[in-house]
Amino acid sequence: MTLAAIELNDVAVALARDGLLLAQSPGFALLEGDVLLVGNDALRQARLKPRMVNSLFWERLSNEAIVPGSARGESYADLARAHMARVWTTAGAGIDGLILVVPGYFDRQQMGLLLGIAEQLALPVRGMVDSALAACAQPADASLVVHVGIHLHRTVITGVAIGSTARRVFAQSVEGYGLVRLYDSFIRLIAALFVQTTRFDPLHGADSEQAIYDRLPEWLATLVSRDSLGIEMAARDGSTHVIRLTRARVEECARDFYDELHALIDGRCAGQPFAVELSHAAARMPGLADAVLSAGGDRVSSLPPGAGALGALRRASKIIDGDWRNTLTVSLPCDQRAGYAPTNSVE
C-alpha cells in the first residue's frame, strides 16, 4: 500500500509521502470576487488585502458562514475543503491510503466534518492520529513528553506518557496566542522601532507592511540563537532605513504568552520529570524554549517541519486498522526507531 499523511496544523498544513515532506501550505484563504486563493498564494497578500483574507477556517472548522447573509455564502468548511484539495494535488498518483494527523483541540464534530470533507474529495482515508502523538520522538529516558505546538490562533500543549506505549494523556490550549496574534505584536514592535530610529513608518504602506510580514519568520529564527540583527527597509522615495532588532525586545513583546505557557505547563506537570518537544514553528520563537524549561522540563528539543505527517507514516502499521471505524488513535506501541533524533538546537 502506498501511503500519504496530511498534518492539519494551520501554520503549515503538511503532506508527506514515501518518507518525504512534499508540501507545507499555510491556512490562509483570499476571497476576491469569484477568485479563491489558498495557502501561500493567499498569505502573500495577507497585508495587502487584509479584509479579503481569512485565516480562521481550520480554527473554527464548521458549516458556519464566514460572512452571515453574504451572497457567496461560503462556510469555514468550504475554505477548509478548498485548502485540503490544494494540498492533496501535491501527493501525486497511486496513493492507496491516507492518514489524517489532527490537532488535539479538534472535537468530535470537527473530526466528523473533516472526514466528510475527505469523503467529498474522494480521499482514501485509512486512519486518524493525534498530531503530537505522531510527532513524538519517544525518548527512552523520559516518562512524560510535553509537546508544544503553535497554530495560527492558539498554542496546544499535549502530554504524551511513555511506557510500554506512547499515550496522549492531556491536550490543552493556550487560546488566543497563536502566530497571527504574535506576529501582529512583532510587526508593531518593528514598526515602532523604525519610527523611533528613522521616522520611517513601514505601516503607512501595505507593500512595506507585507514585506515585514514575509521576512518576519526568518528574522525570528535568527534571533533564537543571536542577540540581535540588523533590519533594512527601502522607502518609496528610494531611501533606505536600518534598525537593530534585539532578542530581548522580541521576548519582552511575547512575555504575556510565555508566562501563560509557563503556568500551564507547570500546572500540568509540577512535581514530575518531563521532556519538552517543540514543533518547528514553536522552535523558531525566540525565548520560548527558555520559557518552557523554566517550568521544570529536563530538556527541550525541536522537531522537523511536518513531524506529525512524517511520524504517522513511520508508524502507519500501528495506525491503520482493517476494521477502522473513524476513530482517533491516541495510543501507540513505543518504538524508539520510529522517532526522530532529538536535538538541543531550536533553530
Tens of pLDDT, residue by residue over 278-295, are: 999 999 999 999 998 887
Q: Are 125 and 118 in contact (CB under 8 A)?
A: yes
Tens of pLDDT, residue by residue over 185-211, are: 999 999 999 999 999 999 998 999 999
pLDDT > 70 in the chain, percent: 94
Tens of pLDDT, residue by residue over 315-338, are: 999 999 767 778 899 999 986 554
DSSP H or E segment with residue 68: none
* 3-131 is a CATH 3.30.420.40 domain: yes
Higher-confidence residue of 299 and 17: namely 17
CA separation for the pair 116, 77 (Å, rounded) = 10
What is the pLDDT of the chain when averaged over all its residues? 91
Task: Provide the Cα torsion 288, 155, 128, 273; round to 10°.
Answer: 50
Question: Is residue 341 pLDDT above 70, yes or no?
Answer: no
* Interval 83-89 mean pLDDT: 97
* Interval 69-87 mean pLDDT: 87
CA separation for the pair 44, 30 (Å, rounded) = 10
CA separation for the pair 126, 124 (Å, rounded) = 6
The residue ranges of every structural domain in the chain are 3-131
Q: Which of 147, 337, 184 is nearest to 261 (CA)?
A: 147
Q: What is the pLDDT of residue 33?
A: 84
Tens of pLDDT, residue by residue over 101-118, are: 999 999 999 999 999 999
Q: Which pTM does this prediction carry?
A: 0.93
Q: Enumerate residues 6+ apart whose C-beta is below 8 A from 23.
A: 13, 14, 15, 87, 90
- From residue 167, how far is each of 140, 160, 198 by CA, in Å? 14, 5, 53
